[in-house]
A and B are shown apart, each in its own frame.
Chain A
Amino acid sequence: MDKKSKIFFTIFSFITMISIVATFHQYVISKSYDTFTNEEIFNESLLDQ
């Protein structure tokens, strides 16, 4: 593979790694995501508990 391609794929892989780490941090570590709920079902489930 020529040098330009190697540089391109290295940068591509680096950006991908950063994105994966950021996504993991976002969802698994920080648990920073919205949830969409149905109020009735939610209240019912709390009563069950």
Chain B
Amino acid sequence: METLIQAFIHMCQWDTASLLIFSNNVFGPLIYYSHFIAIIISLLVGIFVLSRDSKALVNKLLFLIMTAFSIWVFFDLILWANEKPDLIMFFWSMMLFIEPFIYALCVYFIDVFIGKKDISFKKKVGIFSLLLPVIILLPTKFALIGFDLTNCFREPVEGFIATFYVYFIEIIYTLWIVIFAFKKYKESIPAIKNQIILITIGIILFLLSFVSGNIVGSLTENWTVAQIGIFGMPIFAGFLAYMIVRFKTFNIKLLGTQVLVIALGFLVLAIVFVRNIENIKLVVAFTLLFVLILGRTLIKSVKREVEQRERLEVLRMKLEESNLKLEDANDKLKDLDKLKTEFLSLASHQLRSPLTAMKGYSSMIIEGDFGEINPKAKEAVERIFQSTMNLTKIVEDFLNVSKIESGGMKYEMTPFSLSEIARDMSKDLSITAGQKGLKLNFESDTDEECTVNGDREKIRQVVLNFIDNSIKYTKEGSVNVSVRKVGDKVVFAVKDTGMGMTPEIKATLFQKFARGDGARMNTGGSGLGLYLAKEIVEAHKGTVGVESEGMGKGSIFHFELDAIK
């Protein structure tokens, strides 16, 4: 057979290839141009994407596709250049495997790209098992029957695997991609839909141009025309480059400017591989077109990047300025707050002494320690005494607020019965309630059940505040005080038939100086009672709240503390 082959080589005047790929058997110089561009661009894109994030599966898959394609193109070049039938047979077989392998990788790739995660084991087996008949039958006559020495085309005679099975699974893979992409497109949000369209079109165009070149070659026996398929790669690379630049796909943070510049450079360099001066005009025209398209994209992307950076810089400076102003204002506020607390504390302390004197002397006058006074004068002094008591209460409230804000409020925690305190307060205030024509009712669970741990005096103030408020803001009806054990909590509640409140008032009631509509009924208050009550209860790890169905429908004020087990 060796003699026969040598005879044929001599007869067909096949040139001996050097380094596998260089020989005069390549009769179309454009072949080298198209092949080398495809190899360089595909490897460039693959390496670029992998270097940006080598851990991401989608980046690895794209790199594999690009590498497999580069190998396929290189083997194709060997088939063009080489004269030895044994090498042609071997590399033709390799391409029979690599071609559907690229399709399988594309199916895997698009699933991971759109799904954003690895596919299931079943799917992997499904995709790659289709390749097993090709792999297993590669060295047999099912792949290549033999070498055709009836003409000078340097081709093998293809078997069932090459003429039918490979194209069959490539159609399956293509449909798989289209159906999957369509399904995901329908399910996706608008922002992702564009990416799905671009990547799917890019892959389909690439695969179709890949296979159509082979089909055209097989049908027409014109393998020069078949080389059009190789240009599918730059088209795919173009889609990828656009996606990288536009959507920062594959985690590529850097703008694709560098990719575009390098691609331009290689396009120009590729002219070196054109061996025939007659084709140079065509090659230069083609290269110029690509340079113009890529150059325009490059200029636009650089311009966009520069504008973005300028905008970001302006925003950054404004942000810095605002931050400085905010810091300044914050410092001033902190100083003012400190001054206010100090003033409150000082003023309240200063007021205490004269108030104590006023309370004492007016009380003594009322009791007749300075002799009998006439009833009108007595009434006036009683009013002075009452006002002094109210003012003392307000001063105490201010003092407590300033202590809480400065962190100086101390609590003496001891076990005590909440129901006992509530009962005592209810008894004391029942007189005041009776004077207004209100009924004050009290009910509770046992004192043992309602035992809590806390500052007895502070909690007593809270209880007093709640009951006193209910009495003040109820014109007629009743005030019901209850203390119950609920689960592991003790709940104190005061329910009245008073003026009630709107949700807006409810929302602000426990804030400082918030009095809602109550200010009309009770002008003597400080607006701090409920705020203090909330602070004290929360310092005891409890919760405080209010319910009301609306204006004129009464209210329920309540707080709860942990029961002692």
Contact = CB atoms under 8 A, between A and B. Distances in A.
Interface of A: 1-2, 4-5, 8-9, 12, 15-16, 19-20, 22-28, 31, 33-38, 41-42, 44-46, 48-49
A20 B94 contact: yes
Secondary structure call for the B interface: helix
Interface stretch (B5-13, B242-250, B430-438, B474-482): B5-13
Interface residues of B, number: 35
Nearest to A31: B86
Given A35-B85, A36-B146, A42-B4, A4 B97 contact: no
A17 to B, nearest CB: 10
A22 B118 CA distance: 33
A27 B86 contact: yes
Interface of B: 1-2, 4-5, 7-8, 10-11, 85-87, 89-90, 93-94, 97, 118, 121, 124-125, 128, 132, 135-136, 138-139, 141, 144-150, 157
B149 A28 contact: no
Given A1-B118, A8-B124, A15-B132, A36 B149 contact: yes
Contacts of B94: 20, 23
Closest 6 A/B residue pairs (Cβ) = A34-B146, A27-B89, A45-B11, A22-B139, A23-B139, A27-B90
B147 A34 contact: yes
Contacts of A41: 11, 150
Contacts of A4: 121
Given A19-B97, A33-B89, A45-B11, A2 B149 contact: no
A6 to B, nearest CB: 10
A1 B128 CA distance: 16
A35 B139 contact: no
Contact of B93 (A12, A23, A34, A46): A23
Given A23-B93, A38-B149, 18 more contacts: A1-B118, A15-B132, A19-B135, A20-B94, A20-B138, A22-B139, A28-B87, A33-B85, A33-B86, A33-B146, A35-B5, A35-B146, A36-B146, A36-B148, A41-B11, A44-B11, A46-B7, A48-B11
